[in-house]
Amino acid sequence: MNFKGLVGRKGVHLMDAMSWSAYVLEAVGKAKKYGKPVYLDVGKESTAYMMEDALMQMAMNGEPAAWRVEVKLHTLQ
């Protein structure tokens, strides 16, 4: 299946959302494995909101390591 041209909500591409989900899952895995805080550095506010929403959903679904992942926003403005 090719999802390359699909556009989701607010103009976010499906492939981008899938790769952001992979970053979140990797960060939660590291937080779970090492028991230390993990930081995700992002450059866009919309990306930060999306990642924080994914982390909150994981935490509410019973994944305690999601609480140890922090999203840091670095904008140029």
Entry pTM: 0.75
What is the pLDDT averaged over residues 11-35?
81
Domain segments of the chain: what residues?
37-77
More confident residue, 21 or 65: 65
**Residue 13 has what DSSP assignment?**
B
Spatial distance between the Cα atoms of 77 and 62, rounded to a whole number of angstroms:
36
More confident residue, 20 or 24: 24
Give yes or no for a contact between 73 and 45, defined as CB atoms under 8 angstroms apart.
yes
What is the pLDDT averaged over residues 60-65?
95
